[in-house]
Chain A
Amino acid sequence: MRENLHRFFRAARGVGVHVSPAESIDAMRAVAKVGISDRTVLRDALLLTLAKSQDEKLALGDCFDLFFSQPEPRQDQTEAAGNDDAAQDADQQADPSSSSGSAGEPGQAQPPESLGPLAQMLLSQDRNAISAAIASASGAASLSDIRYSTQRGIFSSRILDAMGLQRLRDDLDELTATNPALAERLRAALDALREAVRDTVSQGLALYAREEAENLRNEILRNAPLARIERRQVAEMRALIRQIARRLRERYSKPRKRQRRGHLDVRRTLRRNAAWGGVPFLTAWKRKHRDRPKIVAICDVSGSVAQVSDFFLLLIHSLHEVVDDVRSFAFSSHLIEVSEILEKNSPEEAMAEIMSKVGFGSSDYGSSLVDFEKDFMSTLTPQTTVIVLGDARSNNLDPRADILRRISERSKRLVWLNPEGRLAWGFGDSEMPRYATFCTVVRQCATAQQLERAVSDIVATYQ
């Protein structure tokens, strides 16, 4: 059972539940207390000790059901495996002498004595024995090490080898010559066995490989250019962005007031203790007050940048707990405020609505900045960070960098995120160098990783 629990912990890690050694010890103790006879109680106990949130409970519950869905006659298996080997050895020794004898006598009902144990097992159709043999063979082939779907073939063949496929082949060859009907039956049974093994391996893959596969996929996704990811990856990317948002939230949602221990606030202390003639019974300490970030995001949603803006807006708007106040604006040829659209709708619907309102135009930075100055300049305060996301390609129209200067003067910081690489800035119709003069920071922002760093830095300046 201990072995099984350890395999379950690994599977649990696979579905994203963090199981530390301490937690696995707790779970072991809990299982020792409640016992394993009642599956629902066992499930509850594991869920109580291992999962740490409602999401994890759901994931772990599914994992539990999948894991224990296979019949687990664990005790018998090891014995069976032991017997198996012994029987096989004995058989092989006895083989040369008996094979000639049995070939003469056509035993239709009973499988002939001469066959290997696997063939015997298959022909007698002993389901329990077969599944036990598969389980013990997958233990021998260390199925729990499977990581990638490409390894399915190799693990299948390893399991089959461990079960004695070689011997079965020999038997099959022999039978085809001596007893074609029986050979046919055996062949069909072998096909069924292969299928069963394949299913076992797939289940193993689902249980154990999820973690690695996910890590690998996320790693690739994090570094993929946002503007060019495929449609089918969009949902995964959204999930990744949500993960990033959660990480940033955890890091920056600390309380905003922090006592500066040891710094006496003399003025408040004296006032508070006036009743005692100024003898300081109650002390007041100085506090530091930190601002929550106020962010104004201005995003280009014309063709090439739209996808990046989408993810950026999603990220910024999932930071409620960290960021006090976000106002977002989108533009291509003219500019509108989109904060409300984003708050009310799901990310997919919101983006569709934004695109139908201002998307699909050729970008005109000059007139969009004019729009912003006319209607929304008052949103800027000395605590505001302004983030502009765009490639600064203004189709050779007037860039109106003077407005950007005024924006920069009114705000705490002005950050420009450009999805293009640094090399492309300033070439063709790119106005990046002219805008860059007025920006506090200009950074490239093409991948999820760069996006995370950029937003993290912006929030960190308020800490």
Chain B
Amino acid sequence: MADQKASTSIEAVESGLAAQGYIASRQIATAVYLSQQIEKPILVEGPAGVGKTELAKAIAAWRGMKMIRLQCYEGLDEAKALYEWKYAKQLLYTQILKDKLGEVLGGAQTLHAALDQLHDFGDVFFSKEFVEPRPLLQALEQPGGCVLLIDEIDKSDAEFESLLLEILSDFQVTIPELGTVSAITPPTVILTSNSERDLGDALKRRCLHLHIGFPEQRLEERIVESRVPGISQALRRQMVGFIHEIRSLDLKKLPSVSETIDWARVLVLLQATELDTDIVKDTLNVLLKYEADIEAASPQVTTFIAKAARSNVFG
């Protein structure tokens, strides 16, 4: 049955990513599986630090492919993202070939004849050798395929989005002087966004839309387990429970998975065996990045620890 195969393949994705230390939820695994099957990019949205970029790295490591990363920022344009002419090389070559040019043109009687002859050589300087491929073009030229990560697409300008459309839907780009370059092997494309601005519908339509939120408690425990192996199970439960309580507060920036992992590392370094008020208060700055947030959370620490401990007993 095709169905049977599909669900086992999704599980294969899940375990493949897990082998790289990325614990994926069922939804994420389905998205990765589908993007391979119907050759569509994945647009990943979600708060900062939930592992959007990490997902691309894990896929690349799992499938043994090269990862090409394009970090977006305001003012990014095709010269930096797609390709550029090697101007200096072109200039250098014209200088070196000056004499040669003289020879070539030497036979011409009139200016017109010289121009005609020159036309035959003109395209030499706008050939593949003089193209400096930037990440997008590099991704298309990988013979074995690759994972192309377009990071924080929401930081780029709206014009840049339009530039991406051709690559995302057909895996090809058009360079006016050279023609259309198609991908040798279609790359796996992952776009990430922090929803700083709304992306255009044209871009969204071409992608699978995956939203990664804060993980459930069990999943987060597994993530910590895979990332910070040195931590004891009881402490892991307790700290993840505590973080889930913190997330229920109204804070400027909620602690996300990367903060959880950092905190777990810190707790291991401090050789803590269980959470108590002092150690939490001392290390709260690992979790919360704003002074106001720390002030808001500090009075609740004791109750949260108690709650986390209680849920630990039942869970």
Contacts and interface: CB of A to CB of B under 8 A. Distances in A.
A404 B54 CA distance: 58
Nearest to B38: A29
A40 B3 CA distance: 13
Identify whether the interface residues of B are mostly helix, strand, loop, or mixed.
helix
B209 A52 contact: yes
Interface stretch (A18-26, A131-139, A307-315): A18-26
Contact of A23 (B3, B27, B45, B205): B205
A434 interface: no
A38 B38 contact: no
Interface string A215-254: 0000000000000000000000000000000000110011
Contacts of B37: 29-30, 33
A255 B6 contact: no
B292 interface: no
B281 interface: no
A250 B34 contact: no
Contact of B34 (A40, A45, A249, A254): A45
Contacts of A91: none
Please classify how large the interface on chain B is, using the bins under 10, 10 to 19, 20 to 34, 35 or more.
20 to 34
Interface in A301-346: 321
Given A20-B205, A41-B10, A253-B197, A48 B3 contact: no
Identify whether the interface residues of A are mostly helix, strand, loop, or mixed.
helix
B31 A48 contact: yes
Question: Most B CB atoms within 10 A — which of A18, A53, A250?
Answer: A53
Contacts of A57: 209, 211
Interface in A239-289: 249-250, 253-255, 281
Contacts of A45: 30, 34
B78 to A, nearest CB: 13
A36 interface: yes
Interface string B39-58: 01000010000000000000
Interface residues of A, number: 33
B6 A34 contact: yes
A57 B27 CA distance: 12
Contacts of B31: 44, 48
B51 to A, nearest CB: 17
Interface string B8-50: 0010000000000000001100110110011010000100000
Given A23-B205, A34-B34, A44 B26 contact: yes
A283 to B, nearest CB: 11
A461 interface: no
B208 interface: yes
Question: Most B CB atoms within 10 A — which of A48, A249, A254, A281?
Answer: A48
Interface string B177-200: 000000000000000000001100
B87 A35 contact: no
A52 B31 CA distance: 14
A49 interface: yes
B201 A321 contact: no
14 contacts: A29-B38, A30-B38, A32-B2, A34-B34, A35-B4, A37-B4, A41-B6, A41-B30, A48-B208, A51-B209, A53-B45, A53-B209, A249-B198, A321-B197
Interface of B: 1-4, 6-7, 10, 26-27, 30-31, 33-34, 37-38, 40, 45, 74, 87, 157-159, 197-198, 201, 204-205, 208-211
